[in-house]
Structure 1
Amino acid sequence: MAAATPRVWLVRAGRHGERVSWALDNQVAGGGFREVNDLTKATTRESVGDLVRAGFPEAKANLVANYTGQLWALRERIAVGDIVVLPMKMSGQIAIGRVVGDYQYLSDPDPERRHVRPVQWLRTDVPRTAIKQDLLYTLGAFLTICEVSRNDGAWRMTKVLESGHDPGARPTLGKAAPVAPDVPQAGDVEADASPAVDVERYARDRITSTVIEHYAGHKLEHLVAAVLTAEGFTCTVTKASSDGGVDVFAGRGPFGLDSPRLVVQVKSDANPVGVDVVQKLQGALGSHGADQALLVAWGGINGNARALLINQHFRIRVWDADDLIDAVCRNYLQLPDELRAELPLKQVWVLVEEETP
């Protein structure tokens, strides 16, 4: 008999990801809810609710129910062996770990670092590009803590943990499921307290998905060249079969011969690239007499590659998928008409939704 799929939980580390490094370094998940006291002796959902009401005496009933549901999940519903997913806003990557202990209330001087579960972080560099759009939408819920279950999400996240790739929902389990963010289970949160979705992150993920569909492989080099051209460079895209480790040459001036002269390598794979790619680019930087190098790695770089680049800040820059999308958006009106026809974008204003602690 096949082993049961563990439950998977989204546990954020601050409104702006400010507790991510602390969570990873200390092998924990959680934090926030600074107004709420120790939950160790709160062995029922009702007793957790009492502590939430004491911490938020002016809060409306729906908000109290929402916070109670999240903290009850952290206190009791999350089990040892379950999987925790941590989106990292600063890097655009996702960390995945396994819960290894019960709820703890830490004595950390920072009240934002007290309500936690011990976690063994197993992957800390999964790119968002490795996860399909419907599951990314679930991970875009504003709730600090919620279960990932829609669209076969639990099974898929265990596969991401194993292989680094999202295989998509299994047909018999995920085909009819709606594309919507997960919410805490019935009884944990009032029906009208459903979480808002991070619209900005959702829109960014949709753009990212569309870009890689249209520009995978050698075509991504032409998109990078178009962006650099819009930023004032004269670019030459090399032939795919004989690039010698350089996909785009870029320089200032009418012929692209003036400084700064760049060598650019473009990797469209969803996996983070490693040391070998960085070393090859370092070699190309010297052999071509370039001033600087740009590595466009759609899936980002792994930890070893990042360590190799620590002392290369003024010589080599890395763009992951988010960085490239940023560059596309800020130069969009200067991009060629045919490219804008392939990638039609519109700037809109949206109301900022209130986030949980």
Structure 2
Amino acid sequence: MKLWTVRAGKYGEQEQTCVDNSVITIAWNEMPDLKTFKSREELFKEYQIIYKEASNVKAGINAGQIWRFANEIALGDIVALPSKTQPSIYIGKIIGEYKYQKVAPDTVHLRPVKWLKTIPRAEFDQDILYSFGSLLTISQVSRVQAAERVIALVEGKKRSTKIDTPLIEETEEEFDVEQFAKDQIIKLIDRNFKGHVFAKLVDQILIAQGYITQVSPPGPDGGLDILAASGGLGFDHPRICVQIKSTTAQVDVKTLRELQGVMRKVKSELGLLVSWSGFNHKVLQEAREDFFFIRLWSANDIIENIFKYYENFSDEMKAELPLKRFWMLVEK
């Protein structure tokens, strides 16, 4: 049993199609039915005719990924689909051979999958997260006992022994360095900012944005974690009611509706629902209907706001979350 990373478009274009149809897919939709190719070399020649890559190396890499998708990913293998919209990774098991079938305008090359669980990024070991950062559409995760460790997470089990494996290995693949850095920060926040401490972090972001805030004390809060408003005394508009969840489970629509009720109770015009582990699809759908009244923040949004407002954080918060900005050259 192997573990593979399979992406659903550079920006997650096919992500929801994959989840809704229980499949994984690749791009290169101009390629014909991949079952017609008897060898990798035959597929490579057709790829060059269709895409006319300037570089034979790039053509070879892409043709190799296409061949791997159709022929090397085996029944029973585990696949990881990193979400572009949520701070989570979909984990599934391959249950069928390659199919050439149009299930959406941009989705024709398929492998049937049984989705097992959606797991927050912070739950994975750092070395596996690093491998998930490969920029290839299809890549095998070669870490020690990678598939077994991911299945243990799916089953809610803790590994009894520590796996000693290097974080960075020699490889010809390119990796998403930015995501690697974000994952390290996410894991630190996941360890050290739980419950009321996480609410303090969200409060720091709101204060840095210029709001006057009131944080509920530790303990039961009735769905009201922070109140925020503009003006010197917090009497001006907008007035925001904030509900915060730092659990490892995605928030469901019940929590969203609880926030809507609290907003009416405290007479706030706007609401902010913060979930460290993201939101299920139903929440995302309903929140779109309340676009002008409610915002959703997941771990991705928290990280982006930390980067944007970190310089305005208190010294105490900076000590708890020590970060340093640096620039690096991006090779094209």
TM over 0.5: yes
Aligned with residue 235 of structure 1, among 213, 216, 229: 213
**Could you say what the CA RMSD is over the residues aligned between the two structures, in angstroms?**
2.8
SS in 1 for 2:111: strand
Q: Deviations over 1:140-169 (max 9, x none)?
A: 111111122414221122234344x8x4x6
1:144 aligns with 2:137: yes
SS in 1 for 2:107: coil
SS in 2 for 1:91: coil
Aligned residues of 1:294 and 1:318 also touching (Cα < 8 A): yes
Query: How far did 1:122 drift?
Result: 4.2
Give the letter aligned to residue 277 of structure 2.
Answer: G
Aligned with residue 19 of structure 2, among 13, 20, 24: 24
Aligned residues of 1:53 and 1:59 also touching (Cα < 8 A): no
1:10 aligns with 2:16: no
1:113 aligns with 2:91: no
SS in 2 for 1:287: helix
2:316 and 2:61 map into 1 onto residues whose CA distance is: 47
State percent identity of aligned pairs: 35
Query: How far did 1:320 drift?
Result: 0.8
Alpha-carbon spacing, 1:141–1:307, altered in 2? closer, same or farther (3 Å): same
Q: Which residue of 1 aligns with 2:251?
A: 273
1:87 and 1:309 map into 2 onto residues whose CA distance is: 22
Alpha-carbon spacing, 1:312–1:53, altered in 2? closer, same or farther (3 Å): closer
Unaligned runs of 5+ in 2: none
TM-score (norm 1): 0.82
Q: Which residue of 2 aligns with 1:159?
A: 152
Give the letter aligned to residue 197 of structure 1.
Answer: F
Q: Which residue of 1 aligns with 2:291?
A: 313
Alpha-carbon spacing, 1:108–1:229, altered in 2? closer, same or farther (3 Å): closer
Q: Which residue of 2 aligns with 1:178?
A: 166
Q: Which residue of 2 aligns with 1:102?
A: 97
Q: Deviations over 1:180-219 (max 9, x none)?
A: 37xxxxxxxxx97x21111111111112122233322211
Q: How many residues align?
A: 332
Aligned residues of 1:152 and 1:170 also touching (Cα < 8 A): no
Alpha-carbon spacing, 1:127–1:242, altered in 2? closer, same or farther (3 Å): closer
1:350 and 1:116 map into 2 onto residues whose CA distance is: 37
1:220 and 1:41 map into 2 onto residues whose CA distance is: 54
Q: Which residue of 2 aligns with 1:85?
A: 80
1:67 and 1:134 map into 2 onto residues whose CA distance is: 25
222-231 or 261-270, larger mean C-alpha shift: 261-270
Query: How far did 1:321 drift?
Result: 0.7
1:213 and 1:253 map into 2 onto residues whose CA distance is: 35
Give the letter aligned to residue 229 of structure 1.
Answer: I
SS in 2 for 1:150: coil
Query: How far did 1:242 drift?
Result: 4.5
Aligned with residue 28 of structure 2, among 8, 13, 33: 33
Query: How far did 1:129 drift?
Result: 2.9
Unaligned runs of 5+ in 1: 1-5, 182-190
47-56 or 247-256, larger mean C-alpha shift: 47-56
Aligned residues of 1:150 and 1:180 also touching (Cα < 8 A): no
Aligned with residue 64 of structure 2, among 64, 69, 73: 69
2:104 and 2:237 map into 1 onto residues whose CA distance is: 50
Aligned residues of 1:8 and 1:83 also touching (Cα < 8 A): yes
1:107 and 1:298 map into 2 onto residues whose CA distance is: 35
Alpha-carbon spacing, 1:52–1:324, altered in 2? closer, same or farther (3 Å): same
Aligned residues of 1:101 and 1:119 also touching (Cα < 8 A): yes
SS in 1 for 2:17: helix
1:333 and 1:341 map into 2 onto residues whose CA distance is: 12
2:223 and 2:107 map into 1 onto residues whose CA distance is: 45
Alpha-carbon spacing, 1:61–1:307, altered in 2? closer, same or farther (3 Å): closer
Q: Deviations over 1:274-332 (max 9, x none)?
A: 23433332222122122222111111122344455443322222211111111111111
Aligned residues of 2:206 and 2:228 also touching (Cα < 8 A): yes
1:296 and 1:247 map into 2 onto residues whose CA distance is: 10
Query: How far did 1:59 drift?
Result: 5.1
Give the letter aligned to residue 165 of structure 2.
Answer: A
Aligned residues of 1:297 and 1:320 also touching (Cα < 8 A): yes
SS in 2 for 1:40: helix
Q: Which residue of 2 aligns with 1:348?
A: 326
Aligned with residue 278 of structure 2, among 291, 300, 315: 300
Alpha-carbon spacing, 1:285–1:57, altered in 2? closer, same or farther (3 Å): closer
Give the letter aligned to residue 8 of structure 1.
Answer: L
Aligned residues of 1:135 and 1:151 also touching (Cα < 8 A): no
Alpha-carbon spacing, 1:28–1:324, altered in 2? closer, same or farther (3 Å): same
Question: What pairs with 1:32-51 in structure 2 (closer than 5 Å)?
Answer: 32-34=27-29, 36-51=31-46
Q: Deviations over 1:225-251 (max 9, x none)?
A: 111011111111111125232121211
